[in-house]
Amino acid sequence: MKISLAQQNYHIGNFESNTAKIISAIKQAKEEDADLVLFSELCVCGYPPRDFVEFSDFINKCYKAIDEIKQHADTIAVLIGSPARNPNIEGKELFNAAFFLYEKEIKAEIHKTLLPTYDVFDEYRYFEPAYDWKVVEFKGKRLAITICEDIWNLGDNPLYRICPMDALIQQKPDIMLNISASPFDYTHHEDRKATIKLNVLKYKLPMFYCNTVGSQTEIVFDGASLVFDKDGNLCRFLPMFKESFETVVVNDDGTIDAPIIERAEYLPAAELQISEFQPELNIKMVHEALLLGICDYFKKMGFTKAILGSSGGIDSAVVLALACEALGNENVRAILMPSPYSSEHSVKDAEQLSKNLNNPYDIIRINTIYEDFLKTLKPVFNDLPFSVAEENIQSRTRGNLLMAIANKFGYILLNTSNKSELATGYGTLYGDMAGGLSVLGDCYKTQIFELAKYLNRDKEIIPNNILTKAPSAELRPDQKDTDSLPEYEMLDNILYQYIERRLGPAEIKAMGFHAATVDRVLKLVNTNEYKRNQFCPIIRISEKAFGVGRRVPIVGKYLS
């Protein structure tokens, strides 16, 4: 049997575009004489649609798209994902479903069983789990069709009490098909591949796994669709971070007509957790994910031009370089806004960076504006000593100027804060925390240095002085980040243990970190949730990003 995988980038709620893409891929599959073509989870409407599925009109448009697509499923079978109505009074009104189309009809409707409700997922909020499990018979083959999470309930500590494939295997299927919307994080690729391989080794069947690609606000999907033969050998690996199409022949004996890319090995568990923070880990993937996040945010929102504050520091330098690569250097405007405490070398570094990137930039000194603020506030401040209030006036002045220019010329402001700063509250609300999209909000400071090195892999884009000087907000004389925070190598590792691994203070201290430092850092994280709650969307590249995937109370006493 010839099976095609259509790894595509969808736009949530853009039914016309999504349908056109699907129909185009069906035509390509026909040209390649495929018997069946697979698309990804909820491809008709885009994933995750979230509360859009609560609108009847949205679901009506899903069914209208299915009706249009099935007219092209005449001589070829098509497997697509879409919400489906639940005819039963009991339970949720919708299923997360796969529709098997053939001969211009819906031949089967398969419902997702395991509905993830963790991290960025909230599927049980909307969908009812499957009531039953049946193979689909097609051209003499029995197909076991599952949807994303349905194949993830393996290992020594399963999250769910049932496993759909355990029911389907009783019906003696020949092939496993899984349509998925599995997000990227820089530790997840091997974990995902291991999980799919474990399914193949357990059930002794070939697996066709079709994942979506593209960025949806903060969530990046990397594609990387896979085909395994019945012995667990990887035979096809579609590219990461771009649309792709492959047609593969599966033989009657479960072998695949394709060279083996990676031979099967015994895997004791699907979870491959990293205990020590490694800022350089998969930095090339992180780079590609951030580029895709920027590109799709602008393209799908209809924006073309970006603006950001360029300080001469490492964070704004990396954001500027990434934005120029993603959007084109002519579409990214840098604004340099030195204050009385800005060092002259920072201004020169920021200028040199824009010259290296050949992007437009302006210098707007804020000294006069800052002095006017201080003069206006003097009667109220009552000659109290210089403090964070005066520091933040500078930051908020910059935010105001950036937003004014953005409004005037139709730019989107890119935020330059990093995860280390956001975690500890080392940022100014309505100042340097302003923006429409956070590019580096899920990257720790030490990761950003690794990103900078990667960006400079072929030539010096980011000036070497930016890489070597001590990080500083430059809001008071001789200021350094380490005046307020531990060294970033230590800080990032503590934050990683607490945020990504969810370890408690005693466990982190047992790893050798200074007890008082651990207590201080965790207190900073928990007392600054109010700031993060007002922050813009963050491109997610880790297994636990700030935003929709991490929900903690603002008013809470734990570790604070």
* Together in a domain, 289 and 224: no
* Together in a domain, 209 and 303: no
pLDDT given at position 269: 47
538-552 burial string, b = 16+ CB within 10 Å, else e? Answer: bbbbbbbbbbbbeee
* Together in a domain, 311 and 224: no
* Together in a domain, 171 and 299: no
Q: pLDDT tens digits, residue range 166-215?
A: 999 999 999 999 999 999 999 988 889 999 999 999 999 999 999 999 99
Give yes or no for a cis peptide into 183 (omega within 30° of 0). no
For 510, list phi and psi in degrees, rounded to 5: -65, -15
Q: Which one has a higher pLDDT value, 476 or 194?
A: 194
For residue 156, name the pLDDT band (cuts at 50, 70, 90): confident
Tell me the average pLDDT of the chain: 95
* Together in a domain, 186 and 305: no
* Together in a domain, 297 and 191: no
Place of tokens 């001469």: 312
- Region 251-280: mean pLDDT is 81
Pick the catalytic residue from 62, 148, 163, 324: 148
pLDDT given at position 357: 98
| 30: CATH | 3.60.110.10
Tell how far CA 308 is from the center of its chain.
Answer: 21
Name which of 7, 16, 76, 74 is nearest 39 in CA terms.
7
Q: How far is CA 362 from CA 351, 357, 422, in A?
A: 9, 14, 27
For residue 483, name the pLDDT band (cuts at 50, 70, 90): confident
For residue 266, name the pLDDT band (cuts at 50, 70, 90): low
19-43 burial string, b = 16+ CB within 10 Å, else e? Answer: bebbbebbeebeeeebbbbbbbbbb
Residue 41 designated active-site: yes
Q: pLDDT tens digits, residue range 407-461?
A: 999 999 999 999 999 999 999 999 999 999 999 999 999 999 999 999 999 999 9
**276 within domain boundaries:** no
| 292: CATH | 3.40.50.620
Per-residue pLDDT at 4 exceeds 50: yes
Read off the tokens for 41: 């989870």
Q: Which residues pair with 413 in a beta bridge?
A: 307
pLDDT given at position 484: 80
**370 within domain boundaries:** yes
Which one-letter amino acid corresponds to residue 73?
Answer: A
pLDDT given at position 273: 60
Contact between 362 and 335 under an 8 Å Cβ cutoff? The reply is yes
**550 within domain boundaries:** no
Pick the catalytic residue from 41, 391, 529, 543: 41
For residue 157, name the pLDDT band (cuts at 50, 70, 90): confident
The DSSP call for residue 48 is: -
pLDDT given at position 276: 87
* Together in a domain, 234 and 325: no
Pick the catalytic residue from 112, 197, 305, 445: 112
With pLDDT > 70 as the criterion, what percentage of the chain qualifies? Answer: 99
**266 within domain boundaries:** no
Q: pLDDT tens digits, residue range 64-121?
A: 999 999 999 999 999 999 999 999 999 999 999 999 999 999 999 999 999 999 999 9
Calpha distance 182→160 (Å, rounded): 18
Which of 446, 463, 481 is the last residue before a domain boundary? 481
* Together in a domain, 244 and 360: no
Count of CA atoms in the C-beta half-sphere (13 A) of 210: 33
Calpha distance 247→385 (Å, rounded): 70
* Together in a domain, 241 and 328: no
Residue 197 designated active-site: no
Q: How far is CA 373 from CA 363, 448, 479, in A?
A: 20, 33, 21
* Together in a domain, 228 and 301: no
pLDDT given at position 270: 45
* Together in a domain, 230 and 291: no
* Together in a domain, 162 and 110: yes
Calpha distance 231→229 (Å, rounded): 5
Contact between 109 and 73 under an 8 Å Cβ cutoff? The reply is no
Contact between 24 and 245 under an 8 Å Cβ cutoff? The reply is no
Longest CA pairwise span in the chain (Å): 86
Calpha distance 144→133 (Å, rounded): 9
- Region 452-478: mean pLDDT is 90
Which one-letter amino acid corresponds to residue 337?
Answer: M
- Region 222-232: mean pLDDT is 97
Calpha distance 355→419 (Å, rounded): 28
Domain span holding position 457:
283-481
Output the CA angle 474-476-482, nearest 5 degrees: 65
Name which of 302, 320, 207 is nearest 256 in CA terms.
207
Calpha distance 181→82 (Å, rounded): 12
Cβ partners under 8 Å of residue 226, min gap 6: 193, 196, 207, 209, 211, 234, 236, 237, 238
Please count the structural domains in the chain: 2
Residue 243 designated active-site: no
Which of 427, 455, 481 is the last residue before a domain boundary? 481
pLDDT given at position 189: 84
Calpha distance 399→251 (Å, rounded): 61
Read off the tokens for 151: 């194949």
Which of 199, 223, 249 is the last residue before a domain boundary? 249
